[in-house]
Every structure is written in C-alpha cells, then in structure tokens.
C-alpha cells in the first residue's frame, strides 16, 4: 500500500519506518515537510517527504500522528484529500472532551468524509519497539465504525508485528485515550478480551 504519515514526531517517524520495512511505500509529512528530507533518507528508499496535501492524495491509507494541538490544522492542510481514505488516528487529546466524546469523534467531525479508525495511541514507542513481533503478540486496540477502516487498520497492525483487537466503535475510543482504562495497557492478545471487558465495566 501507499501509506501517508501525517506528523513526524517520534511515533509518526517510528511507524513510517516500520511501514517501509514491511514493504509499503510511505510519504512522510508535517507542517514543515521541507525539513523532513533527512528523516526520509534515514528511513530508506521507500520513504519520501511530501507536503501534507500531496501525502494525503498519494496515500491509500493515512496514519494520523500530529500533536493534538495541531490536529485541526493538519486536517485543513490535507485540502480535502482525506475524503474516501482510511485514516488511522494515533493522537491523544490532553483530556476528555466536556461532552464526553472521544478525540476520534472530534476528528470525524472535522473530516467527515474520511474513514476513521483509532489505533497506535495507547503505548509509547519504547514499549511498541520492545514488543514488536515477539510472541505472545502485543494487542493493539482498534476502534472504528467503518468496516473498511477496521480491515485496513488490522492489516497494518499485523504487518507491523502486533495483533489487532477490535474494541468497538468510535465512541469507545475514549477508553484508549488520555485518562481511559486502556491507555498504557500493555497486554498480550490472549488477555485482550478480559482487559477490554473490564474497561467497559468501569
């Protein structure tokens, strides 16, 4: 697949590198794509730096990993090119929204024509790096209302060396975000069912 990675911080850069290692062609981007040439060079021949709108247009699927504070601007910079694309949201709002909605639901409001899913937001890159590809596989929780987004997220999660575990629709993304019971939950896939059930009971 062609993967666009919006946000070139530690998580975005790490996921971009793993996607390239897994055989995907990757476009990395941020508010300052001209500063990403060195990063793209370090990550290999399958990685190219592009402006945000170009990366979104290029991508079959997008990994969305800017800071929460710049998330709205990042969506605006895509110039509508997220429409019809699977977008995997790895952001975490600093706290729950006043109305109890998840950050994913807020992003869905800002870009309603994209097919949004939530994943890769519960654990720091150090944990992901340590557990990547090692049995028992680390569970990576996925929240989405879109079947196509669920399938694409599951494929990428498997490609990157983790085990996808569906945690429900967009409203359940709040369980995985800041302050939620699945935030920082490092669990093997065999334990994911029980841990999710416990989170849903709180």
**Interval 21-51: pLDDT, tens:** 999 999 999 888 889 989 999 998 999 999 9
Q: Distance between CA atoms of 35 and 76, rounded to whole angstroms?
A: 20
- Of 126, 156, 122, nearest to 19 by C-alpha is 156
Alpha-carbon Rg for the chain in angstroms: 16
Q: In terms of pLDDT, which residue wins out, 95 or 165?
A: 165
pLDDT (0 to 100) of residue 98: 67
pLDDT (0 to 100) of residue 93: 93
- Of 114, 103, 84, nearest to 172 by C-alpha is 103
pLDDT at 97 exceeding the cut of 80: no
Neighbours of 179 (CB within 10 A): 12
Q: Distance between CA atoms of 77 and 96, rounded to whole angstroms?
A: 25
In this prediction, residues 100-105 reach a mean pLDDT of 92
pLDDT at 56 exceeding the cut of 80: yes
pLDDT, tens digit (0-9, with 9 covering 90-100), for 108-121: 999 999 999 999 99
pLDDT (0 to 100) of residue 177: 97
For residue 51, give the 3-state DSSP assignment: coil
pLDDT, tens digit (0-9, with 9 covering 90-100), for 132-157: 999 999 999 999 999 999 999 999 99
pLDDT (0 to 100) of residue 10: 95
Structural domains in the chain, sorted by start: 2-201 (3.40.50.720)
Quickly tell me which residue has 């990675």 as its tokens: 5
């Amino acid at each position: 697949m062609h993967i666009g990675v919006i946000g070139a911080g530690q998580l975005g850069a790490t996921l971009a590198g793993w996607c390239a290692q897994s055989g995907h062609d990757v476009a990395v981007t941020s508010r300052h794509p001209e500063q990403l040439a060195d990063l793209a060079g370090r990550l290999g021949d399958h990685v190219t730096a592009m402006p945000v709108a170009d990366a979104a247009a290029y991508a079959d699927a997008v990994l969305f990993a800017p800071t929460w504070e710049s998330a709205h601007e990042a969506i605006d910079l895509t110039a509508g090119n997220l429409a019809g694309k699977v977008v995997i949201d790895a952001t975490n709002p600093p706290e729950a929204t006043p109305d109890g909605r998840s950050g994913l639901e807020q992003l869905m409001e800002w870009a309603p024509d994209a097919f949004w899913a939530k994943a890769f937001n519960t654990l720091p890159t150090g944990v992901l790096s340590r557990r990547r590809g090692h049995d028992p596989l680390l569970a990576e929780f996925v929240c989405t209302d879109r079947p196509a987004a669920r399938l694409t997220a599951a494929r990428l999660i498997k490609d990157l060396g983790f085990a996808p575990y569906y945690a429900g629709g967009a409203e359940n993304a709040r369980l995985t975000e800041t302050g939620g019971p699945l935030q920082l939950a490092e669990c093997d896939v065999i334990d994911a069912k029980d841990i999710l059930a416990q989170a849903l009971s709180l």
